[in-house]
Structure 1
Amino acid sequence: MKTDIEISQAATMAPITEIANKVGFSPDSIEQYGQYKAKIPFETIKAKDSEPSGKLILVTSINPTPAGEGKSTVSIGLADGLNRIGAKTSLALREPSLGPVMGVKGGATGGGYAQVVPMEDINLHFTGDMHAITTANNALSALIDNHMQQGNALQIDARRVIWKRVVDLNDRALRQIVVGLGGPMQGVPREDGFDITVASEIMAILCLADSIHDLKRRLGAIVIGYTYQKEPITVSDLQVEGALALLLKDALKPNLVQTLEGTPAFVHGGPFANIAHGCNSVMATKLALHASEFVVTEAGFGADLGAEKFLDIKVPVLGKAPDAIVIVATIRALKMHGGLPKNELAQEDIASLKEGYANLQRHIRNMQRYQIPVVVALNEFVTDTEAEFQTLVDLCQADQVEIRRCAVWAQGGAGGEELAQAIVEITAGNGTTNYQRLYQDDASIEEKTAAIVKKIYGGKQVTFSQKATKQIQSFKQYGWDELPICMAKTQYSFSDDPTKLGAPTDFDVTIREFVPKLGAGFLVALTGDVMTMPGLPKRPAALNMDVTDDGQAIGLF
């Protein structure tokens, strides 16, 4: 079997002007980045605003395991499958981060015969969005340090600067650093640190802003630290939101590429779902909705993280709830959630499958809580047996949820037609869903956090560290308590302990600290030992990568 990059490089791509035409864009209404990539300018986006919206399909999954789930692959194959059965469909996906690409997780362009292309471009530097976000973030850091060096008129307390620098790589050595050493001419010494670019608030802002004006408003609201009197200081106090917006003006424009089967794909924005809100940009999703009958989008990691944040953070900004939710599962991963070791997953094991189903079952019930139709997509592996498949069908039917096989990795869109047909049937008619948010804005910080932990994670209660408790009191005084909560939590478990697989119960979740993200419009709650700067594994994927003398990528999955 060919590798993903070999399949991608062997594909014959259509000129991006042909892909643009499928969603109603003329060649002179897009900004081409070479032959196969384009950005959509603001005037083209504005021209689409008056057109009716299509139906939105959110793809999520069970908690990820080393056995693999394939959420992005299913999203791409489903979109291709919908187009194959005559439903005009486009994709709205996130951009990959170089951290996972060079690390262990891999890229974010799908796999097998369900990919977005050009695969190596998208997984590497693409159209430069990640670099623009990195530059804007670090420009703000430089401006903060310069302000303190040049008289510190705002009385910024160097001990209370919460804005960090970023780099789009996994680099644990940069988690905690000291800047400004070397004497008076080199700046004000203080502790600092790096996050990965996709954890930057500027990434979240880019993905939630709906215009340049909104981008500047959100940038101005960023809290960068506190004064000696413990009062918050924002970017607007520094008067640099315009300069930051200038660096981001092109990155804000959605990117257009294609799948192997020529489905238009708006790939834009890339916040992680375990430390941010994990969704493609609002601008790209809205644009796709105005240009298509169906839009397939995905939210990062499992439904306890990405989908919850999509539904409670993104939907109120987007102004449209999904018309259906697809939960991706594999028999291999469910058996692992049921306690079967990774090296035994190829053998039939009905008992561990039934035990692991508890993980999928909780995700199903969580998504049904939002009053949106749910369908399970079984991403097939060659090791699956008919007995295991029938067991899973029986379990889903007992929970009154549809389940469909999906073989898009091996068959492309043809392997997604069964799932696509189910989506068309589930979303038939012009009615809207009875979407219900998990909590309301006027609930307290404690109530919102408890709602997520108890109703979504299945936990017993929330405990707050002394620091988090003091922060809650301060946030109430500042009027920040009406913001939604963005939980930073391990993706591997419903709990804050990554070793607790399946569907654990009777556990507490500890909030060790809050980070205000006023520009993004939410409060990040840090749990467990989740980190905003990952580290590389013992054998990074980068060790397998190379480039030929004629510039062709090698070993990129």
Structure 2
Amino acid sequence: MKKNLLPIEAIAAKLDLPEDLYERRSPVSAKLSLELLNDARFDRGGKLILVTATTPTVSGEGKTVTSIGLVQGLETIGKRAILTSREPSLGPVFGMKGGAAGGGHSQVEPAEKINLHFHGDFHAITSAHNLLAALIDSHLFHGNALDLDPDAITWPRTLDMNDRALRNIIVSVTAADKKQRDGSNRPSGFLITAASEIMAILALASGREDLRARLARIVIGQNRKGEPVRAADLKATGPMMALLSEALLPNLVQTTEGTPAMIHCGPFANIAHGTSSVVSQRMGVRLADYVVNETGFASDLGFEKYMDLVSPLSGIKPAIAVLVTTVQSVKQQAKGDLGDLKDEFANLEKHIAIVRSFGLPAVVAINRFPDDTEAELDKLRAFCEARGAAFALSEAFALGGEGAAALARKVVEVIESNPNVVLTSAYANGDSAVEKITKVAQKIYGADAIELSERAKESLARFARWGFGELPICIAKTQYSLSDDPKLLGAPTGWTLHVTDVTLSAGAGFLVVIAGAMMLMPGLPKASLALGIDVDESGEITGMQ
């Protein structure tokens, strides 16, 4: 597709942005000033639209395409709208899933640059994370004045790439005939940058001072007395702030149709909280009447975390949820058949129930794929009608904004019909961690019970002693099932959520609950998408999906 992108000044003009509130980074992209958050000229009170989905297939269900198409569709029907979406990680770009800039006639542009090294944000996050890791090992080497327990250091290293070989490593390797120091030959590992606590902190920070406070609160391990040691104790806050200062600023770009879009931060929803930055969303509701914000994977992951974690921490209250589904998703969850509306649509029905359980009205977006038959689409429509769920067909990939105009009208109609939304949560702030995990497992996932490993129990007891026992939770689990087993399809019941470990993200402000065999550093597939990516003679990147 030939791309005729508007200059970034034209995108800024759509939002009435003066030149002093954005900094041009290329002819078609810019960084936005934090002054926007307090500028009295911008306070439109926009409605936030959360986009989520049913349980995805390996290739995804086009949730990003639908989000981009929806914001284009809103502009098509005459509304001032803006997209807030996450920055892609290189792991999926070169792995199995591919890029996260949309596709067809509904992309964010410049798509190739957004998918690769965009404005250096991921580099800054990776560098800040690894700076703290280096300071820890340097502190151990130079005498360990804080009396850090080398066996209890929990801060890993990070890399924005799927690399299973780095999951488990040995650091500070010392030969047998050399002087042994604290920290010599200690086990550690890497996680992917999207799972870094620095990524979560940047995404949740409300501004520079909040970012500074969150970085200072990071717990990197404990001393030999069993007391927590923080990044502030290592005097790491200032240099991390320096690395992250520019990365805190949201990125302004456009869609294929010239609709404004902010792309900022990229926490994964299966191992982190999975949505764009709080700063970008707060700017969005000040700049536009409708803000389309994607949450990662299905409603049991990014959406639940938004409602239980992001919304309470940020104060941002969504007005509606758009639930993306496809014929292929329903088929996979029904093991290949679209026969019985009661049994074969159990997964879609469960996701509709999850959205409604938080008090949000929902619109089901049926994302049309080329191979879908009218008979299959009619069955999806019939199911939505039978369950009293608002729905609309989306053809954003093929037709852009025009293909999502019907969805946009339906979303506006449902928002206007529900002006007094009262949000609820899966758990209460005062619940213990075990109570929080149990309530999410039972109310959202459909589990009967939870089972904690001895390691998880020990971790929770330690965090409670340190005063973190009532933090919100962020459950890391497979995206391919409502359960912790990717092979359990549909809406399984009668199962137990197995909690293998719990880690502390004190700076981000939550406990990470690891369920099942979840890995925080993914690996590349046998046939990586990287093998088809190249650069042609003119310097254009080719083969990116």
Category of TM-score, reference length = shorter chain:
over 0.9
Q: Which residue of 2 aligns with 1:151?
A: 143
Determine which of 215, 240, 244 is the counterpart of 1:244. 240
2: CA distance, partners of 1:24 / 1:233: 46
Alignment counterpart, residue 283 of structure 1, candidates 271, 275, 279: 279
Question: Residue type matched to 1:448 in 2?
Answer: K
Query: Are positions 1:195 and 2:154 aligned together?
Result: no
**Aligned partners of 1:48 and 1:287 also within 8 Å:** no
Question: Which shifted more, 373-382 or 185-194?
Answer: 185-194
Distance 2:89 2:40 in 1: 29
Contact 2:43–2:285 (Cα < 8 Å) also in 1? no
Matches for 1:432-511 after TM superposition, within 5 Å? 432-511=420-499
Q: Which residue of 2 aligns with 1:109?
A: 101
Structure-2 residue corresponding to 1:83? 75
Matches within 5 A, 1:313-392: 313-340=309-336, 349-351=337-339, 355-392=343-380
User: For residue 530 of structure 1, what is the aligned residue in structure 2?
Assistant: 518
Could you tell me how far 1:352 is from its partner in structure 2? Answer: 6.7
Q: Which residue of structure 1 aligns with residue 407 of structure 2?
A: 419
Measured after TM superposition, the shift of residue 25 of structure 1 is: 1.0
Is residue 90 of structure 2 the alignment partner of residue 94 of structure 1? no
Change (3 A) 1:117 1:272: same
Q: Tell me how far apart the structure 1 counterparts of residues 40 and 365 of structure 2 sit (CA, whole Å).
A: 32
- CA–CA separation in structure 1 for the residues paired with 2:147 and 2:448: 43
Shift of 1:412: 0.4
Tell me the SS of whatever aligns to 1:228.
coil
SS in 2 for 1:159: helix
Contact 2:59-2:97 within 8 A present in 1 as well: no
Q: 1:184 to 1:550 in 2, by over 3 A?
A: farther
Corresponding position of 2:206: 210
Q: Distance in 2 between matches of 1:528 and 1:287?
A: 37
Deviation of the 1:189 alpha carbon: 2.6
**What letter is aligned with 1:62?**
T
TM-score normalised by structure 1 residue count: 0.95
Q: Would you say 1:520 and 2:508 are equivalent positions? A: yes
Asked whether the 8 Å contact 2:472–2:509 carries over to 1, the reply is yes
Q: 1:49 to 1:230 in 2, by over 3 A?
A: farther
Shift of 1:67: 5.9
Give the structure 2 partner of residue 547 of structure 1. Answer: 535
- Report the counterpart of residue 163 of structure 1 in structure 2: 155
Q: Deviations over 1:384-435 (max 9, x none)?
A: 2222222222221221111110101100010001100011111117933111
Give the superposition deviation at 1:28: 3.5
2:228 to 229, 232, 237: 232
Write the distance in 1 (CA, Å) between the matches of 2:329 and 2:356: 22
Instruction: Give me the whole-angstrom Cα distance separating, in 2, the residues matched to 1:537 and 1:18.
Output: 41
From the superposition, tell whether residues 502 and 542 of structure 1 become closer, same or farther in structure 2 (CA, over 3 Å).
Answer: same
Q: Provide the C-alpha distance between the structure 2 equivalents of 1:249 and 1:400, rounded to a whole number of angstroms.
A: 47
TM-score after normalising by structure 2: 0.97
Bigger drift between 353-362 and 67-76 goes to 353-362
State the AA in 1 paired with 2:272: A
Q: Describe the SS at the equivalent of 1:419.
A: helix
How far apart, CA to CA, are the structure 1 residues paired with 2:390 and 2:34? 40
Q: Return the letter of the residue paired with 2:233.
A: D
1:407 aligned residue (395, 403, 411) = 395
Listed one character per residue, the Cα deviations across residues 455-512 of structure 1 (whole Å, up to 9, x for unaligned) are 0000000011111112222222222122111000000001100011111110000111
Instruction: Tell me, in whole angstroms, the C-alpha distance in 1 between the residues paired with 2:533 and 2:298.
Output: 29
Q: Distance in 1 between matches of 2:508 and 2:94?
A: 27
CA contact (8 A) 1:321 1:433 kept: no
Question: Which residue is 1:72 aligned to?
Answer: 64
Residues 185 and 227 (structure 1 numbering): CA distance in 2 closer, same or farther, change over 3 Å?
closer
CA distance in 2, matches of 1:505, 1:429: 34
Deviation at 1:226, TM superposition (A): 1.0
Q: Which runs of 5+ in 2 are unaligned?
A: none
Structure 1 equivalent of residue 166 of structure 2: 174
SS at match of 1:207: helix
1:33 to 22, 25, 32: 25
The RMSD of aligned alpha carbons is 1.5
Contact 2:270 2:478 in 1 (8 A): yes
Q: Deviations over 1:258-302 (max 9, x none)?
A: 000111100000000010000100000110110000000110011
Please tell me whether the aligned partners of residues 437 and 473 of structure 2 are also in contact (alpha carbons under 8 angstroms). yes
Report SS of the residue matched to 1:33.
Answer: strand
Q: Secondary structure at the match of 1:390?
A: helix
One-letter identity of the residue aligned with 1:41? S
Work out the CA distance in 2 between the residues paired with 1:352 and 1:109.
35
| Aligned position for 2:305 | 309
Contact 1:338 1:353 (C-alpha < 8 Å) held by counterparts: no
Displacement, 1:126? 0.9
Partners of 2:41 and 2:490 lie apart in 1 by 43
Tell me: CA distance 1:484–1:41, structure 2 relative to 1, closer, same or farther (3 Å).
same
Cα contact 2:64–2:100 (8 A) shared by 1: yes
State the 1:227 CA deviation: 1.0
Contact in 2 for aligned 1:97/1:123 (Cα 8 Å): yes
CA distance in 2, matches of 1:130, 1:49: 31
Distance change in 2, residues 1:138/1:359 (3 Å): same
Distance in 1 between residues matched to 2:287 and 2:344, nearest whole Å: 39
2:111 equivalent to 1:119: yes
SS, match of residue 459 in structure 1: coil
Residue identity matched to 2:229: I
Code of the aligned partner of 2:211? L
- Unaligned ranges ≥5, structure 1: 1-6, 341-348
Q: Does structure 2 conserve the Cα–Cα contact (< 8 Å) formed by 1:204 and 1:276?
A: yes
